[in-house]
Structure formats: C-alpha cells, structure tokens
Amino acid sequence: MATRFILRRLGQAAVTILLIVIVNFLLFRAMPGSPDRILARNPYVSPQAIQQTRERWGIDRPLIPDQLVRYVGATLQGDLGFSFAQRGRPVTDVIASRLGPTLLLFGLGELLAIWIGLALGAYAGWRRGGPIDLIGNGISLILYSMPYFLLGMILLLIFASTLHWFPTFGMTTIGARFDSPVAYVADLLPHLTLPVATVALGLIGQYSILMRSSIIETLSDEYITTARAKGITEDRILRAHALPNALLPTVSLIAINLGYVVAGAITVEVVFNWPGLGTLTVEALSARDYPVLQGVFLVLSISVVLANLVADMIYGRLDPRVRS
Amino acid sequence: MRSTIRARSGRVLAIVGLIAVVLAPAMTTVRAAEGDLILKVGTDQEFSGLNPWQSVYVVDYEIFTLNYDLLVGYDENLGYTESFATSWTTSDDGLTTTFKIRPGMKWSDGEPATADDAAYTYQLVIDAMAGELTMGSGYIDGYLSSAGLKSVTATDPETLVVETATPTALLIPAYVPILPKHIWEKYSLEQIANAEADGFFANDPPVVGTGPYTAVEYEPGQFMRFARNPNYWGKQGAADEVIITHFENNDTMVQALRNGEIDYARGIGADAFDSLVGEPGITTVEGNANGYSYLTFNGYPKAIEGGGASTRAVADPAFRDALAWGLDLPQLVDRVLAGHGTPGTSLLPPFQAKWYVAPAADVQRSFDLAKADEKLTAAGYVKDGSGKRLDKDGKPITLRMTWPASESELATAAQFITEWWGDLGITVTAGVTEDETLLVDLTPPEAEPPGKANFDTYMWGWVGDVDPNSLLQPFITDEIGGSSDTFWSNARFDELFKLQGQTLDETERKGMLQEMQEIFYREVPNVPLYYDAELHAYRTDRFGGWQNQPLEGGTPLFQFGPLGYTLLTAAGEEPSASPSEATAPSAGASPSAGATGSPTGGTSSNTGLLLILGAVVAVAVVGTLVARRRGAKATEEE
C-alpha cells in the first residue's frame, strides 16, 4: 500500500534523525579541548570569571547524562544554542539567515544542470560515437573531474577580473540600496551568474555521463528492438521508450545530490564570498565556532536523510515495483 | 510522456528565469546616483557583533572605535590625544585622575554626551569586577580591572573623577569605548556582559555613538555599514558611508580590490600581496605587527604526575639560551613569511617604538650551531657515543614540538627547527595540534580545572595593545594557571612588572621595561621568532589622504581609533591610470558612478554580446518546446 510505504519511510527517517542528533552531540564532545580555555589566553581574565563561564555554558556538568539530555531536549525544541563567534546570536538564526542564499544558488544550479546535463547525456548516448558524443563526453569528463573551487576561480578570473562582465563577490553590490524588488533582482542576477554557472557546470558533467551510459544500456533492451520492429520513428523511440527508463538511475543520483547541497556549497560559496551555508561552515571552522558547526552538520545530515526519502518516493512513483 | 499543462508552465517559467539570468547584466542599471561617497573596506576577520564588550578581533576594535570615542584617543604617532575627554590630570599621589569632558558634545541621536555617560560605562566594569564576572570576552573590561579601577564619579557634566587602588599607568590608555547611558541603562549587567543571557543586548543598528561614523546596518558574517554621525565633534573624512565586508577567501578579496569593488583590503596573504606590489592605482602597505610569534619552552619547575615536560632541560635557562643560538630567525622570516616580517628579539615588538629595546650587541644571539653546541656542552648537556644529546639525568633528549592548527604556517618553521636542532643531537618530534586541545595541553596544575602542562615546546603568538602591559603580563608568576604558557617565574621581573604599571613618568617606566626585556632575553622563557608584517593594500582612485598610523611602520586603517578614516579626502574626478580601470567599460556610467566603482555599473558595453547569447538560448529553448509538443502529440497517436 502506498500510504503504508510512505509512513514506514517517514518513521525510518525520524529514527535516523534522532540517531544523528545523538551522534552529533557525541562527535563534538569527543573532540578534545574545552571552549573555556581560550579565555585563559587573555591575561586580564580572572580564574573566577573562567569558572563562572564554565557554569554558564553548562560544561562543568557531567557529559552523560546531564549534557546529553539537555542537548537532545533543546535540539528537539529547535534550540541549537548560541554562536561563539557571532556573539549573542542563536545558532538557528545564524543558519536560517544563510539557508536562503544556498538554496537559491544550488536550486538554480541543479535546475540548469539537470536540463543541460540530461539532454546532453541523452543525445550523446543516442548518437554514440558521433561528434557531440565525443566532444560532449570529453568536456563532461573534464568538468566532472574539476573541483568546484578551481572551476569557480577560472570563471572569476575570466569573467570578473579580466572581462569585467560580472561582479567578483557577494549576493548584491555592497553599499547598494534598492528602491524596489525589481532593482534588487536586477542587482542579484549578475552576482548570481558566475556561482550558478560554476555549480551547473560541475554537475552537468556528472549528470551527462550517467545519462549517456544509462541510455546506451536501455537502447540495447529488447523492447527497443520491438519498437523499432513496429516501425516507430527513432525520435519517438528515444523520447517515449528509452528516456523514461533511462531516467530511473539519474533520479536517485539527483535526489541524493540535493542532499549534499550544503557540502557542495562550501567551495563555490567561498570562492564568490556568497553568504550561504557553505561560507558559514568555513567561517565557523576557522573561528572554531562549534555550536554553529554542530548546527550545520545537523542541517546537512537531515537534508541528506530527507533527500533520500524524496528519492525513495519518486522512485516508488516511477517504478511501482519498489513499493511492493 | 505524462505532461500536464501545469508542469509545462513550470518549465516555461524556469526557462524564462534562465534567460533572465543570462541577460541580467545588460539590464542592470547604474545605481549610487545619490552621489554618496562610500568607502568599502575588506577584511579577513569575521565580526563578533556590535556590543563592544564582546570584541575579540582587530575588526571588532575597529568597529567600536568608529561608533564610540575612548576617553583618551591616539594621534598619528600613537601619542595620547583628546577624544571623549579633552584633558586629564592625575593627583600627586597618583590615585585620582580627573578628566575634563568635551563641553556641548552630543550623541548621534542628539542627546547630550556628558561625564555621566563615562561614569556609567566605567561603573559597569566596577560592578562586573565586584561580581567576579567577565564582560563578554573579557578584553575591554580587562583594561580597567588591570588599572585597579576603584570608583568613578561625574562631579558635573564636564568633569569625571576616577580613583584607582594604586597609582597606575594603565588608566589613560584603557581602551574602553564610552557608551550612551540613556541607551544602555535599560539593560542589566548580565544582559550586556553575557551573550547567552535572556534579552542579551546585541546593540543592533542603528547604533548611537559619538564616533565619526555609526553603524546603521549589520549583516552578520557579511558586512557592516556605517553612516556619518551628524553630531560628530571632530573633523570628518570624505566618505559619507563606510562599509566593512568580511571575506572568507583571500584571493577573492584581492580580486575585488583589483576590480575596484573595494577600496581597502586588510590581512592579505603574502603571495597575493607580492602580486599587488607595483600595480598602478594600488598602494601596498607592509606595516609592523603589534605582536610576535614565539617558540615557548615548558618551564614548569616541578615534575607533574602523568604530564609535564619530557625532560627537565627545558626548564633550564642555559639550555634554552643554547637552543636559541640554533635558530636561524632571518631564514624563518624568509621561508615562513615570504620575507614579510622581521626576526624576533624582544617580547615587546618594535612596533611599540616607545618601549622596545633591542638586545645589546654583546648579548645578541645569532644563528651559530657551533656556539650552540659549545654552550650545550658547557651547561652539562653532553653528547653520547652515537651523537645524541643527553640531559642531566643521562637520558637522550627528544623534544616534542607543536603549534595550533589555526597557524598552519608554523609547520614550515617546525621543519627548519627540527633540522637545526637535529644537528645539535636533539631529536624533535613535530606535529600540529587542534587549538582547543593545545589550550588544554598548556594548562598547568594551578589552573581551574587543573591541567598537566603536557608539552615540551610549542609555537603560537601574542598580540598587544598600544600600552605594553598586556604583552608583559603573561610572564609574571601570578599568571601561572592563568595566561602564562611558559610557567617561567622571576622575582625581579614580577617586581618590575608591578612597578611599571604604577609609574606615570615615561622615562622612568622605560627604564623598568628595558630591564624586563633584558631579563627576558637572558632567561629565554620563550624565543620571539618573528614579528609578522601587517599586509594591507588600498586604491587611490576614489580616496586620497591615506596616512599610516603610526607614521613609521603603521597602516592607514585597523590601527588605534578612527584617525585614518577622518583624514580621507575624495580623489580628483580625473580617471586613474590603473589598467583595471582603463579596461573597465565605463559606458552608461554617470560621473558619480565612480563612487561605487562596481563593475555591474559598467557592463552595458557587453549588452550586444549578451543579447546574442540570450537569443541563441531562447531559440534553443523554443526549439526544444516545439519538438516536445510534437513528441507529446505523437504519444497520443500511438
């Protein structure tokens, strides 16, 4: 039953997330060191004041069960604590403010990559050995193997530093004030172009290579031969028979990729100083802002779980055998 | 293929969006027609926020001195100058200091700024001291607690009387911003001091201050925007606004400077800095850092159960002195800092020109392995038959050496030192340690909770204030269990430290600091490896009047107070000779567009190209749609 299938998968996802919360707690506590020791580097802070800070942060209490219970309880209520670096800001606020830019950047990048990558892969597989296949496959391999930051830096040097077509960094021009949403979008789009292009180019290679091999495999299936025997045009065979089946493996790849949005965001965002979760992760790492890092890890792992859930659902819809 | 109308319209929308992305630059209009002159500053450091007590990094100090005035400010050579106070006198017994507050001064919101505000600010620290609290990160209140602040009174709106427990040299240089009482008094000490408290006062914009600029917008982790304070008492710079932007990627910051998207960059990496040197339209500044990187020896005098140093030798000044002869400091500057720095000598950096004393020629060490070898043998550390150096217990010396992960360049230093000391028969096992772990390893039994001081040698750095006191304090005996990481103890040094903090006569104080520096150099609790350079760069096409603070060895911004900002002038209207400017298309840009210098303003000459590109995409998309529709029709026919 479809409902039972969905409920079961939802239940599994919830359990996984709870386990992630606990592992997340243990992982960060397992790291040696204690956040209050940095205060000791300041000659003007008294030992009494350091002790007060330990009590305030609750790190004078036993790790298990006191701190664990407190952490899981707080997390379930959406309280992830306070950022060390951005003083006085709750981690949830810090992360929430960075979520939008990342979703925008990667949403657009994924959309472009899905379109172009799948089309390119399907065409290359269909016309295997043709010029598009040879060139397309070569380019795909290069793009696939190139790290995001390198691709980003190359685009930055060519289109921002040399040609001056696009700005170097940020989501909008610093210092710009916008009278209308139109003016805002007009400033946002040029800033968005290079980062989105980087994400899209990086993914196109991956998607097109997978789509190509998937199409080639499908084309050797018997029902394709049957379709040919029926006299259906080649174009129709590709569109109506080969493509839908060849899409199955790519759907799971794409859905899983969506879960890695944050992880993938890190290098692209840092190159373009894009104010998203990726830049936040690097900032939190360099500032040793553990509460924020912990929050980002949580968001990251939950999004992977959710993406897998979505992949299952879509797969179930495309291929009824999965549901039974 | 199941293709509903909704799905199709979604696709069309997506396509329109994509076309818009491609065409967008051509549609961008030139902004900043308001004519505002905006100074755009890039920094490698992240903001801690707008509540000054929470300040940690240099950029935080920069922000609060733009917003607020100190009682006493700093001039172009770091001498004292009037700020919130216009003059100050200390009583003969040195216990009472009277500040005259600038008459008729106003906060940026128009409220009068008086001695009452200063008294309120200092009283916060007295209250925190009474409750054994740190205020925020403990740096700002520390200036007043170390000065022995006892009481503060505003006897009239223009007079502030401050009493200290002992005579003190630390009150005048106390780096404490004077806050508006009428804003801050609504919050409890806990809400001001504790960033995790309920109702914490983050001091969100618009900030009310007496500084030349006040923060009007803050995007955490990204940028802070300041507008001119209309009520500022002093001369104001040409910039109508100042925007400080944080860059996580150094290369991007440098590209942004090249492209004119920012005017000033702080904290540039050595390689990027070298590539900027000599570039037209850009001035690079190599300032001296007010701090140093060091190699510390674990001087803990007793054995520690399950911890401590692996050999007693590191607690012996003669051993440390000998090893310091085995360090080629100029080579470290060349190889670790790519030449951007100076070899270390004193625990006070040469930046503190008033207090720094270079070692006398007859005691100054240089790199001399033969002499190091000789000194080690003379001190009783002989080599065994296989060439291994033995400690006084007859055990071969193997020194552990580490550094914090946040200072990755020290790995290079460790490689060299391992080799040099290896030549002396001393094995060095070098490896990086995560910062937090290292901080725990450095904790001695005296600390709370107690640690085991589990290390032999390690490298890190100290950064100072204008006053030398904070750079000296980690080496006094009382700080073992606090900020001391050498566990070195010297009675004369302790005595001088106390005296210098109470001596107002600068010549007399300098004499004491000289003796302290000599003792330090002789006993080698740590070896100052080098003074890293501050690598900054700025553009000259939009602003002039850049002036280093201090004039010798300083940088224009990110020093002590807002002086650099107030000296800026608008550059002439004539186009600059910079190649990046010359190639940047200026079509469609009004003369005032120079004020933003943003490349988005100059993209219109690419409009043709982008239109063609857009047209190609549009044709491709329409073609696909038509083909799809045909395909869909065919499905129905099948």
pLDDT in tens, B554-582: 999 999 999 999 999 998 643 343 333 33
The listed range with the strongest mean pLDDT (A36-45, A258-267, B156-165, B583-592) is B156-165
Partner-chain residue, chosen from A115, A169, A239, that has the shortest CB–CB distance to B1: A239
Partner-chain residue, chosen from B195, B196, B248, that has the shortest CB–CB distance to A273: B248
Contact A167 B600 (CB under 8 A): yes
| pLDDT category of residue B51 using cuts at 50, 70 and 90 | very high
Residue carrying structure tokens 């150096």: B389
Partner-chain residue, chosen from A33, A186, A271, that has the shortest CB–CB distance to B28: A186
Residues of A in contact with B202 (CB under 8 A): 87-89
Contact B259 A160 (CB under 8 A): yes
| pLDDT category of residue A217 using cuts at 50, 70 and 90 | confident
Give the closest residue to A276 by CA, choosing from A185, A171, A174, A194: A171
- A271-281 mean pLDDT: 90
- Which residue did the predictor score with more confidence, A149 or B127? B127
Residues of B in contact with A132 (CB under 8 A): none
What is the distance between the alpha carbons of residues B479 and B486, in angstroms, rounded to a whole number?
10
| pLDDT category of residue A43 using cuts at 50, 70 and 90 | confident
Query: What pLDDT shows up at residue A67?
Result: 82
What is the distance between the alpha carbons of residues A20 and B108, in angstroms, rounded to a whole number?
49
Please check the confidence at residue A72 and state whether its pLDDT lies above 80.
Answer: yes
Please check the confidence at residue B14 and state whether its pLDDT lies above 70.
Answer: no
Percentage, residues of chain B above pLDDT 90: 73
ipTM over 0.95: no
| pLDDT category of residue B622 using cuts at 50, 70 and 90 | low
If you measure CA to CA, which chain A residue comes closest to B141? A44
pLDDT in tens, B95-110: 999 999 999 999 999 9
- A102-126 mean pLDDT: 89
Token pair of B138 as six digits: 């403990």
- Which residue did the predictor score with more confidence, B449 or B553? B553
Contacts (Cβ under 8 Å, ≥6 apart) of B98: B88, B89, B90, B91, B159, B160, B161, B162
Please check the confidence at residue B606 and state whether its pLDDT lies above 90.
Answer: no
pLDDT in tens, B307-335: 999 999 999 999 999 999 999 999 999 99
Contact A186 B483 (CB under 8 A): no
Q: Which residue of B30, B168, B248 to mutate against A (max A Cβ within 10 Å)?
A: B248
What is the distance between the alpha carbons of residues A218 and A214, in angstroms, rounded to a whole number?
6
Residues of A in contact with B134 (CB under 8 A): 39, 45-46, 49-50, 52-53
- B240-266 mean pLDDT: 93
Please check the confidence at residue B596 and state whether its pLDDT lies above 50.
Answer: no
Contact B22 A193 (CB under 8 A): yes
Partner-chain residue, chosen from B245, B259, B606, that has the shortest CB–CB distance to A161: B259
Ranges of beta strands (E only) in B180-299 are 213-219, 223-228, 241-246, 264-266, 282-288, 291-297
Residue carrying structure tokens 């004393």: B357
| pLDDT category of residue B595 using cuts at 50, 70 and 90 | very low
Contact B40 A44 (CB under 8 A): no
Contact A49 B225 (CB under 8 A): no
Phi and psi of B534, rounded to 5°? -90, 110
Q: Which residue of A89, A173, A192, A266 to mutate against B (max B Cβ within 10 Å)?
A: A173
Query: What pLDDT shows up at residue B588?
Result: 32
Please check the confidence at residue B609 and state whether its pLDDT lies above 70.
Answer: no
- A294-318 mean pLDDT: 83
Average pLDDT, chain B: 86
Please check the confidence at residue B348 and state whether its pLDDT lies above 90.
Answer: yes
Q: What SS3 class is residue B177?
A: strand
- Of the listed ranges A186-190, A284-288, B525-529, the one predicted with least confidence: A284-288
**To 5 degrees, how large is the angle CA B382–CA B384–CA B390?**
50
- Of the listed ranges A304-308, B125-129, B417-421, B493-497, the one predicted with least confidence: A304-308
- Which residue did the predictor score with more confidence, B9 or B497? B497
Q: Which residue of A50, A56, A164 to mutate against B (max B Cβ within 10 Å)?
A: A164
Q: What SS3 class is residue B427?
A: strand
Q: Are B565 and B39 in contact (CB under 8 A)?
A: yes
- B589-603 mean pLDDT: 32
Our CA-based measurement puts residue A166 at a distance from the nearest CA of chain B, in whole angstroms, of 6
| pLDDT category of residue B213 using cuts at 50, 70 and 90 | very high
Partner-chain residue, chosen from A45, A186, A236, that has the shortest CB–CB distance to B27: A186
Residues of B in contact with A176 (CB under 8 A): 31-32, 596, 598
Our CA-based measurement puts residue A62 at a distance from the nearest CA of chain B, in whole angstroms, of 14
| pLDDT category of residue B5 using cuts at 50, 70 and 90 | very low
- B74-80 mean pLDDT: 94
User: Which amino acid would we find at residue B342?
Assistant: T
Contact B132 A49 (CB under 8 A): yes
Partner-chain residue, chosen from A53, A273, A286, that has the shortest CB–CB distance to B252: A273
> Exposed, middle or buried by CB within 10 Å (0-12, 13-18, 19+), for A68?
middle
Our CA-based measurement puts residue B579 at a distance from the nearest CA of chain A, in whole angstroms, of 10
pLDDT in tens, B357-391: 999 999 999 999 999 999 999 999 999 999 999 99
Our CA-based measurement puts residue A15 at a distance from the nearest CA of chain B, in whole angstroms, of 31
Contact A272 B252 (CB under 8 A): yes
Q: What SS3 class is residue B339?
A: coil
Residue A81, Cβ neighbours under 10 Å: how many?
19
Query: What pLDDT shows up at residue A307?
Result: 83
